[in-house]
Structure 1
């Protein structure tokens, strides 16, 4: 321990020795992991679970709660959309100064938007976006992005109360049975996309991180997948090696039109372009897409679009 302390002191001493020409120290780089850990230990996550009536999926210091619209039967271009493809509402809590920050994306019918929004506003939470992700779906679904900062138990109670103004299933989810088979060449999909995927509810999902960190109110949004700031690509098998694809690209302004052109030139429809947050750094745009075709062909089109982004790939 003393050796480690001496190394740290020595590094800082050498750093500051340059006087006026020394590099500026970003103290957040050193302090943030310790601050986040301390706050995480202070939060009674069982009370947050109790407020939602379900257990979180925990990734590092982020607790994410899923609210899939399993009550809806949504079809698009002859495909019955599985909740994991495009109907997976969620909220994620990350420890922060003064409690926790929350971000989320609620899946709603048109008639549910205003009743849910009113409850969230009354409870002190922020609405950061309301929009579509899909086109031509029946029934039409909309997506309400929410944010907030404070006591996680109180924020959880507000969100649950707000969801009660919709028909979102709030009962404790039943134990999942055997997951549906993914009848696609997932190894080849991974090779083309250049990332590892995972099966979830009959859908094969990819989360591709951007190279630079994403911050909201100067706090790093990590891990990026659970916080909703990774490029999301979902494949739902439709038979015969074909798939329906949707998700969203997370883009900086200069990447938007190159990605649009890459997707459209590969037969992939761009269905929405918008923001999800209000104060993120760098400024980001979220581009949603849709297509039904040969899965490997679609993967190559998605890879062409990924190659226009500053994202991290592991192969291909």
Structure 2
């Protein structure tokens, strides 16, 4: 995502004093409106939580808020998709000098894209991608990637107001015991090479890349919460089978070797595209789909991971 110049308020005031007319002050850029020295020193995260109507998952200094589309019943090839498999919108905040970096991915119906996008851009946030992740989804779902920098409370307010023009649930569902994962998860861990976790009935893996990914001069870490790990999700479909989807974060020279590895193992490639604008190294995100024996699919995923510069943890 492309972040705009952020200046302390005192410096900005001096610049404004030399500008021609008061109209210039009315058109100050997003990051200046969102920034203050107070926020650089102390962020009231409770107000952000209250604005977004939910508590975040915290990893290191990153706070990630989930916006699952639990209101939707989406099917692909006869499989009813759990929100945690492919319908989990999110926004993550990482503190930085002058406030916070924000980036995320919102799950929308086609009729929701324009009104949500208008609210986000009117509020100063940037759109970094709009695309599909799945094929043959009924109803069709799309994924709008968003970024920004500044006061996290202001960013949260813009995000809340944008989601309010969609049917995304704005109140978090009460916490409940996730259903048991009807898969041999120990076997999946062994094949994939990292430990997965139960995410609301979906067995999820986050495999980080070995080299750091930077955006706007900042390292995007931890990789999983910031959306730059290889994300692999298994949803049990009975009899040891699973529907799998997720995304690989790939450099350009990795894209086609991964495609070949997936296809040769019976895993469909459903999308290849960017999620961000200015990341280093340049990444492409490859989405996939299959519904078959879980261990067989895990071996196919492992073969694809072996074509990438991904670490094991």
The answer to whether TM tops 0.5 is yes
By how many angstroms is 1:262 displaced?
Answer: 0.2
Q: Secondary structure at the match of 1:64?
A: strand
CA contact (8 A) 1:84 1:201 kept: yes
Say yes or no: does 1:231 pair with 2:223. no
Other-structure match for 1:43: 43
Other-structure match for 1:99: 99
Matched residues in 1 for 2:262 and 2:306: separation? 11
Deviation string 1:28-50 (CA, Å, 9 cap, x unpaired) is xxxxxxxxxx9786111111111
Other-structure match for 1:303: 302
Deviation string 1:239-285 (CA, Å, 9 cap, x unpaired) is 00000000000000000000000000000000000000000000000
Q: Secondary structure at the match of 1:260?
A: helix
Other-structure match for 1:78: 78
Deviation string 1:25-77 (CA, Å, 9 cap, x unpaired) is xxxxxxxxxxxxx9786111111111111111111111111000000000001
Other-structure match for 2:267: 268
CA contact (8 A) 2:207 2:229 kept: yes
Matched residues in 2 for 1:148 and 1:178: separation? 34
By how many angstroms is 1:97 displaced?
Answer: 1.5
Deviation string 1:179-217 (CA, Å, 9 cap, x unpaired) is 111000000001000111000111000000000000001
By how many angstroms is 1:176 displaced?
Answer: 2.2
Other-structure match for 2:243: 244
CA contact (8 A) 2:40 2:97 kept: no
CA contact (8 A) 1:40 1:61 kept: no
Other-structure match for 1:194: 193
Other-structure match for 1:14: none
Matched residues in 2 for 1:40 and 1:64: separation? 19
Other-structure match for 2:311: 312
Other-structure match for 1:159: 159
Q: Report how many aligned residue pairs link the two structures.
A: 276
CA contact (8 A) 2:191 2:299 kept: yes
Matched residues in 1 for 2:228 and 2:291: separation? 25
CA contact (8 A) 2:255 2:284 kept: yes
Matched residues in 1 for 2:299 and 2:178: separation? 27
Matched residues in 2 for 1:272 and 1:40: separation? 38
Please show how residues 1-316 of structure 1 align to structure 2 within 5 Å.
42-171=42-171, 173-314=172-313
CA contact (8 A) 1:39 1:95 kept: no
CA contact (8 A) 2:116 2:165 kept: yes
Residue ranges of structure 1 left out of the alignment (5+ in a row)? 1-37
By how many angstroms is 1:175 displaced?
Answer: 2.1
Task: Give TM-score scaled by structure 2 length.
Answer: 0.87
Matched residues in 2 for 1:223 and 1:178: separation? 26
Q: Secondary structure at the match of 1:244?
A: strand
Deviation string 1:97-153 (CA, Å, 9 cap, x unpaired) is 111010000000000000000000000000000000000010000000000001100
RMSD of the alignment, in Å? 1.2
Q: Secondary structure at the match of 1:204?
A: strand
CA contact (8 A) 2:206 2:232 kept: yes
Q: Secondary structure at the match of 1:161?
A: helix
Matched residues in 2 for 1:175 and 1:163: separation? 20
Other-structure match for 2:35: none
